[in-house]
Structure 1
Amino acid sequence: MSAAGRQARATSADELCRQAYAACAGPAAGVALVAVGGYGRGELAPHSDLDVVLVHDDGLDLGDLGSTLWYPLWDSGRRLDHSVRSMTEVLEAAADLRVALGLLDARHLAGDPGLTLRLRTTMLADWRRQARTRLPELRALTRKRHGVTGELAHVSVPDVKEAEGGLRDAGVLRAIEASWLVDASTPALEAARQLLLDVRDEVHELAGRPSDRIGPEMWAPLAERLDLADAEAAQRHVRSLGRRIGHLSRLAWRRTDSVTTRPTGEKGRRTPALERVAPGIALSRGEIVLDAGTRPGDDPTLLLRAAAEAASRDAVLAPTTAARLVREGAALPAPWPAPARDALVRLLASGPALVPVWETLDEVEGIATFLPEWEQIRLLPHASPVHRFTVDRHVVETCAEAGALIRGVRRPDLLLVAALLHDIGKSSLHDHSVAGEPVARKVVTRMGFTDLDAEVVASLVRWHLLLADLATTRDPDDPATTAELLTHVPDAASLELLRALTEADAKAASAAAWTTWRASLVDRLVSRASSALGVDVAPVPPAEPVPVPDVVRREAGAVSVEVTPHEAGATVTVIAADRVGLLADVAGGLAALRVPVQAARAWGQVDAEGEWGVSSWEVPDAYLDAAVVRERIRRVVDGDQRLPGLSARADDELPPIVEVRADASRASLVLEIRTSDRPGVVHRVLTTLAGLGLTVASAHVSTLGPQAVDVFYVQEVGGVRPSEERAAAAAHAVRTALGG
């Protein structure tokens, strides 16, 4: 089947309708026979209805024309959906969105062409005039339909018309385009729509009736009709079309929402304003784009950094920007530079916001630029019916689920990368865990992780099903079960990573895969294994000493600030005489400038001339002025600087986790804090500790997408380890300060 076949069927139906109208002596003025919907577009499938409306001027008496016209059409054996309405009645019926959408495609068949033209002109004018109210209604109707039919790309028995990403959504995009509010139509959309119409034609022929659902038994004959290799190739073809239309639909709706929620009197700029959010990257009307003057070929990390910015801000990664970065961007070296690795981790840590950004990367073939192994699982159907997604989408959903669990592990980056790679061996005919292990090791090494980290991730991929299998098929309280688990999971850090990966993998599969009962069995086994392992906390290596500037040594209260730009922003190094509250004042100075802190480390140095506090802060602003930072710190110290308060925690955010790692250090109280990355978190924690008279011997701050994982080594003045009572009080105070 093809567009030519559909047009031939429409042409045949047109001739039939014109003959029927002529046989009834239909008038040439004041009355028109009009095709609407798919027939109006000239896109008839083999068993499609003929959707027609007999329209007439108000007050015109049609006699028996309306009742006799349909008989020759029925006698021809064609399925008919018909109505007779005056012009006013047509416009009233258009209050129903389904009717309105069909009328947008009205096409003249017979009778008065001027009346058909007037109908089309009036309908389009009304649609554009009411677009700000009608499009939100259409959005709600579309969401309701998606909730019933699921996604064409993933459901086991997809409906090529009604499912999300199906032909109905393609028609909705045409309606959005007709509103003139958003450019929703693209060459990619039209190409996918035509190919999906071809699929629908063949489904009709195979079913022998007007059915749009593809049952499991239809994939093989459908592949033969579409000249594809086999049933799996047919699935990949159809699901890829659904994924493309679904992605374009979600993108168009986000842009539509942005327009319809804008105040009516607010006029948009001809050229949208650019807000620089990172080196080379800007935000424009909710979309991540390239900053003015940025050359993609100069920075191989740009694609990943742009994707990370979009996901962490829940913004759109502009497809044209992503496509340009793929087309013109420089190749990543092996091993990756640190900014690329950090950007990938931030991207994967972004929770549900990861999914649409990853879809954009997939659509522009950007994933292959940093993860060529992705093609092995792209659009691969799952063999197990428990899975609600294709393998590639399941992997992305696993990463999104893992993003909510990174507070519970010491190496969130390894959890997220393991989630990305846990099913990378699915295309193999052998055990996918075994097949995926060497692939994961190779990928993680290429990303620039250490050999030890690569072994941890490879082991997680190899044994990612072990914990669930043992917990549900063996007695979790049997020492032999614990012993078998610990044969493959040698330490506490790996155990907590495996526990989090198990939960994320199950939740991404389906709601039935992670029940309260299953979670309790897993947790019981993990508890037994943890007791057997004991506490295993690696010491933090000491920082390398840095030279203390002469001005800091000579002048009381002097602060040295040095800004070192790099490809992902800048490193701000601050040195001053050590004292209680120094770090809080530095964090306050950065907060006053509203500079996000992506990572930080602080430590103390002692020499013959005194004790010095050194801190190093990673920020996304490569153009930060050291003198301005120094001045803001001085104003904070003097009490002249008004500081922004800690932004409120969203209702759907998890409360902060503040834990005392009792055995992590003999010299210091170790506070580990996991919380949503909100402006002012570091400053609030440090201010709280300073208010208790506690000093920070060293700090280790990291931001992973929307999550902050911060570790503070805290002492009493004079270098004494705080007592248990003081430790508990400090943890409670910090938890309270963060809104816990």
Structure 2
Amino acid sequence: MNIKANIPEPAPEPEKRVSRQRDIIDRRALTEEIDRLFAEHGVAKARAQILALLQGALNQGREEIGKRLVENPSAGHDAAAAQSFLVDQLIRIIHDIAVKYQYPVSNPSSGERIALMAVGGYGRGEMAPHSDVDIAFITPSKQTSWTEQIVEAMLYWLWDLGLKVGQSSRSIDEMVHMAKDDLSIRTALLEGRYVWGDTGVYEEAKLRFFSDVVEGTHRTFVSEKLAERDSRHHKMGDSRYVVEPNVKEGKGGLRDLQTLYWIGKYIHRVASAEDLIEVGLLTRGEFLRFRKAANFLWAVRCHMHDITGRAEDRLTFDLQPEVARRMRFADRKGKSSVERFMQYYFLNAKVVGNLTGVFLAHLDETHNAGVRRFIPNIIRRPKKLKGFILDRGRLALPDEKFFEKDPIRLIEIFQLADKYELEIHPMAMRAARRDAKFIDNNIRKNKRANKLFMEVLCSPRDPELVLRWMNEASIFGRFVPDFGRVVAQMQFDMYHHYTVDEHSIRAIGLLAKIGSGELVDDHPNSTETMKKLKNRRVLFVATLLHDIAKGRGGDHSILGAEVAMKLCPRLGLEPYETELVAWLVRSHLLMSAMAFKRDLSDYKTIQDFVSQVKSMERLRLLTVLTVVDIRAVGPGVWNSWKRQLLTDLFESAEEMLLLGHKQRGRKERIDQKKTILAEALDLSKAQFDKLAKRLNDPYWIAEQSDIIEQNARLMIAAGEDNLAISAEAYPERGATLVTIYAADHPGLFFRIAGGIHVAGGNIIDARIHTTRDGMALDNFLVQDQKGRAFSEASQLERLKQAVEDALANRAKLAPKLEARPLAHSRADAFKITPMALVDNEASNRFTVIEVNAQDRPALLNALAYALFESKVTVHSAHISTYGERAVDTFYITDLLGSKIESKARLNSLKKKLTVAATFQPVGKEAA
């Protein structure tokens, strides 16, 4: 063996202690039974019986481990160790079968030796019920025919047992060569553990690995593992607060803890995570937090495998309630059991993040040249640091008692980091986390402390980054206890992608970027609006507080306004500013509700909105707050359609507030649109007048000029035909405009809705018109299942054909609708009770009815059919989805064009819509 004399032998791995081992699997009893079966039936005939015996042992072992997990649902380490023990015993039995009975050799040569090494997570002695069995078959030199037979025989046994095996079969030289070239192989072998076989081969392999592969490559390994970690985080969403986290690979998950252990083992040859204390990488308290977080995460992962019967590592919505139930979380006022469980999950993920920072800080002190990943962005070095010091460009502490002497420094360090764009030294972050307890009511009421906090919150630089640091250090929640209540709090729905604290911090970051002009392409109106604000700090405080009362068992907007009234004076806001923040928090959902659920062409909608907003300053503040609130919900939620609706509402409200609606009244607006259309069309005055007279006043008010032009050209092209269909991409609204010009008849709306859905479209807005000569002119804005416009010629043709088929009744709609897949299969995890609300005050001309229901295929078709059955006329439909929840609003009249006033008829209509939202439509017309 070529082993360098100065390389210490790696410490032996500690045996994972598993209680009552024979209750899981009795290897001695199984071996005796296998020996008997081979003796009685011979090798060939005994195989089936032995396989059944092993399968029974595997099932019984898993059942026992599952039973223990039910009895002690938080014992993650015990379950993971027990699963590894079970697999160990089976592999040992299978090895002995292959060597003793299938391919026995009486006098093996030096090459006819083999060692079985568990690698990866299995090597660490931690496995979930359906984890891969990662095993390395190691031989002293190139494989012989005997070792090949042994490996093949063992693999067939393992595969027949249904185990997913990750295997490699290499000589020691091949193992060393491949480990040098491949980071993943090197990492897996780092955790190599002897399972069975030739101990000499195993010991030589381990020594060669540490001498020939590990020695002298510490810095490279650390930098590569950290880069690998960053890449994994980016792939998984780059936040530990996504509401469907990956327990294994996600940020703050098990892999992050394992990365710390791998780095520690690679550099210091530690045999267990606890040994990180001895080498100074973690304190005893930090290790205990490491152990506690890992134990919880392993418990969650084992429950997930057990529930699904497969290797499932993503904690999806449908799994969260069952895992919460198994781990004995209960409902509390304002928070369901699943929300409490997920909050605890995210708090553990936060612990993992904290430990990572501390660990890397220690490494940085001793291996900084190879570990340091970030170069501080110092625009100007401060001359005065208020007692803080600079350590390689990072804010650090002069001594361990620095925060304790003056706890206001716990806020000041973040203000300095923001002001001078400095990193904070991880050891200073560790001290801040430790000393957060010194922030008491005296510090919270201190004017200087609040001034420093407000400078960070309203920073024109990067408040999101610094506020996130404050949150990670637990300073944010200590200084603003109401914010501390929503740290790591999730909302159990498919709409919100992040926890409440993460959402709020992201919204503040977006606010700063809009204010600096960075997002002018995405948010031109908001960028321009922020320039006109008289008081920007009101907007930043309102953004911080808009969701701060979630989870309190009431309307979070109203409760949040109460929080604002108490907190804002403490933060140094004047009484009028406090009132304004409270109004913004109370009304932060008003603008989106009006824009997405109401008809913006209806004068009463704008009037009602303006009556609540009252001033241009409040309109501007509310507009920008609405934009950042929506966009910070998560990726894909914001789109150009929402931007257009909010801009339309803003401009209409602005016009009413600045000019008064009478200066640009209904007649003036209609005349202006007619003039624009006349200029666009090549028609004589007589031809134009004839066309214009066919369209009634509500049509001219409701539609934009570009859509009016498109509609007019379709009508002209149709001539005497009673059907024309157009579908074209409408980039300004991020959707496809589908226009149907057809002879009006009952049921037209639900058939069009069904046809669009059959073609794979989601209707996000609909305007239904009838010309004075009895033709329907209906405009639908349509997106695909991912919220994008249909733009390819084949897609547009499919849309038109599907609508035409539905209108001509060429094929039964119901079977085609049922065949369409559910857009959100995870929606089954949520149960939303359908509800229909009637509002006869929201419009002067129409009855407005809003249906809240669980989103599902062809929901709009079902609701439209219910309206058809109820003998009402639909004038416009506005469709909004919030994850698993759909909110569809219809502006309707009776068949004579009047509001529906009869309580009996309204109750009947609500009942039919509620039933339609629950079940698929029935009846000949629906088919």
Superposed, 1:150-549 pairs within 5 Å as: 150=237, 153-180=240-267, 186-187=286-287, 188-229=289-330, 230-246=337-353, 248-249=355-356, 262=369, 278-285=385-392, 287-292=394-399, 295-312=402-419, 313=421, 315-316=423-424, 318=426, 319-329=429-439, 331-333=441-443, 335-347=445-457, 349=459, 354-355=464-465, 357-406=466-515, 408=530, 409-474=533-598, 480-530=604-654
**What amino acid maps onto 1:58 in structure 2?**
S
Q: CA deviation at 1:347?
A: 4.3
Q: CA deviation at 1:113?
A: 3.5
What do the CA deviations read for 1:544-566 (whole angstroms, capped 9, x no partner)? xxxxxxxxxxxxxxxxxxxxxxx
Alpha-carbon distance between aligned partners in 2 of 1:304 and 1:389, rounded to the nearest angstrom: 25
Give the aligned partner of residue 87 of structure 1: 172
Alpha-carbon distance between aligned partners in 2 of 1:261 and 1:296, rounded to the nearest angstrom: 26
TM-score of the superposition, structure 2-length normalised? 0.51
**What amino acid maps onto 1:5 in structure 2?**
A
The structure that has the greater radius of gyration is 2
More helix by share: 2
Give the aligned partner of residue 14 of structure 1: 88
Say which SS state the counterpart of residue 405 (structure 1) adopts. Answer: helix
Query: Contact between 1:345 and 1:417, CA under 8 Å: does it hold in 2?
Result: no
Alpha-carbon distance between aligned partners in 2 of 1:498 and 1:508, rounded to the nearest angstrom: 15
Cα 1:152/1:320, change in 2 over 3 Å: closer
Say which SS state the counterpart of residue 412 (structure 2) adopts. Answer: helix
**What amino acid maps onto 1:170 in structure 2?**
L
Give the aligned partner of residue 189 of structure 2: 103
Cα 1:452/1:165, change in 2 over 3 Å: same
Query: Contact between 1:331 and 1:369, CA under 8 Å: does it hold in 2?
Result: no
Q: CA deviation at 1:394?
A: 0.6
1:49 to 110, 132, 135: 132
Query: Contact between 1:149 and 1:164, CA under 8 Å: does it hold in 2?
Result: yes
Give the aligned partner of residue 668 of structure 2: none
Q: CA deviation at 1:453?
A: 1.7
Query: Contact between 2:363 and 2:371, CA under 8 Å: does it hold in 1?
Result: no
Say which SS state the counterpart of residue 126 (structure 2) adopts. Answer: coil
Cα 1:291/1:175, change in 2 over 3 Å: same
Give the aligned partner of residue 129 of structure 1: 216
Percent identity reads 27
Alpha-carbon distance between aligned partners in 1 of 2:165 and 2:299, rounded to the nearest angstrom: 22
- Count of aligned positions: 527
Query: Contact between 1:304 and 1:344, CA under 8 Å: does it hold in 2?
Result: no
Give the aligned partner of residue 545 of structure 1: none
Cα 1:301/1:55, change in 2 over 3 Å: same
Cα 1:122/1:332, change in 2 over 3 Å: farther
Give the aligned partner of residue 780 of structure 2: none
**What amino acid maps onto 2:585 in structure 1?**
V
Cα 1:4/1:338, change in 2 over 3 Å: closer
Alpha-carbon distance between aligned partners in 2 of 1:13 and 1:46, rounded to the nearest angstrom: 10
What do the CA deviations read for 1:57-82 (whole angstroms, capped 9, x no partner)? 23463623333344555566644332
Give the aligned partner of residue 40 of structure 1: 123
2:202 to 116, 135, 143: 116
Alpha-carbon distance between aligned partners in 2 of 1:232 and 1:74, rounded to the nearest angstrom: 39
Say which SS state the counterpart of residue 175 (structure 1) adopts. Answer: helix
What do the CA deviations read for 1:405-450 (whole angstroms, capped 9, x no partner)? 3452332322211111011122234332122111111111222322
Cα 1:519/1:193, change in 2 over 3 Å: same
In structure 2, runs of 5+ residues without a counterpart are 1-68, 70-74, 269-275, 331-336, 373-380, 517-529, 660-927
Alpha-carbon distance between aligned partners in 2 of 1:68 and 1:347, rounded to the nearest angstrom: 65
Superposed, 1:570-719 pairs within 5 Å as: none
Cα 1:228/1:118, change in 2 over 3 Å: farther
Alpha-carbon distance between aligned partners in 1 of 2:371 and 2:237, rounded to the nearest angstrom: 34
Alpha-carbon distance between aligned partners in 1 of 2:597 and 2:363, rounded to the nearest angstrom: 50
Say which SS state the counterpart of residue 551 (structure 2) adopts. Answer: coil
In structure 1, runs of 5+ residues without a counterpart are 266-273, 536-740
**What amino acid maps onto 2:486 in structure 1?**
I
Cα 1:5/1:483, change in 2 over 3 Å: closer
Query: Contact between 1:35 and 1:53, CA under 8 Å: does it hold in 2?
Result: yes
Cα 1:253/1:471, change in 2 over 3 Å: farther
Q: CA deviation at 1:515?
A: 2.5
Cα 1:147/1:343, change in 2 over 3 Å: closer
Q: CA deviation at 1:311?
A: 4.5
**What amino acid maps onto 1:295 in structure 2?**
F
Query: Contact between 2:142 and 2:170, CA under 8 Å: does it hold in 1?
Result: no
Cα 1:127/1:320, change in 2 over 3 Å: same
Alpha-carbon distance between aligned partners in 1 of 2:642 and 2:219, rounded to the nearest angstrom: 47
Superposed, 1:558-569 pairs within 5 Å as: none
**What amino acid maps onto 1:92 in structure 2?**
H
**What amino acid maps onto 2:318 in structure 1?**
E
**What amino acid maps onto 2:197 in structure 1?**
G
**What amino acid maps onto 1:36 in structure 2?**
V
Alpha-carbon distance between aligned partners in 1 of 2:632 and 2:281, rounded to the nearest angstrom: 30
Query: Contact between 2:123 and 2:191, CA under 8 Å: does it hold in 1?
Result: yes
Say which SS state the counterpart of residue 110 (structure 1) adopts. Answer: strand
**What amino acid maps onto 1:284 in structure 2?**
D
Q: CA deviation at 1:46?
A: 2.0
Q: CA deviation at 1:156?
A: 4.6
Cα 1:506/1:35, change in 2 over 3 Å: same
Query: Contact between 2:561 and 2:585, CA under 8 Å: does it hold in 1?
Result: yes
Query: Contact between 2:595 and 2:649, CA under 8 Å: does it hold in 1?
Result: yes
Give the aligned partner of residue 730 of structure 1: none
Q: CA deviation at 1:451?
A: 1.7
Cα 1:111/1:461, change in 2 over 3 Å: same
Query: Contact between 1:58 and 1:88, CA under 8 Å: does it hold in 2?
Result: yes
**What amino acid maps onto 1:189 in structure 2?**
F
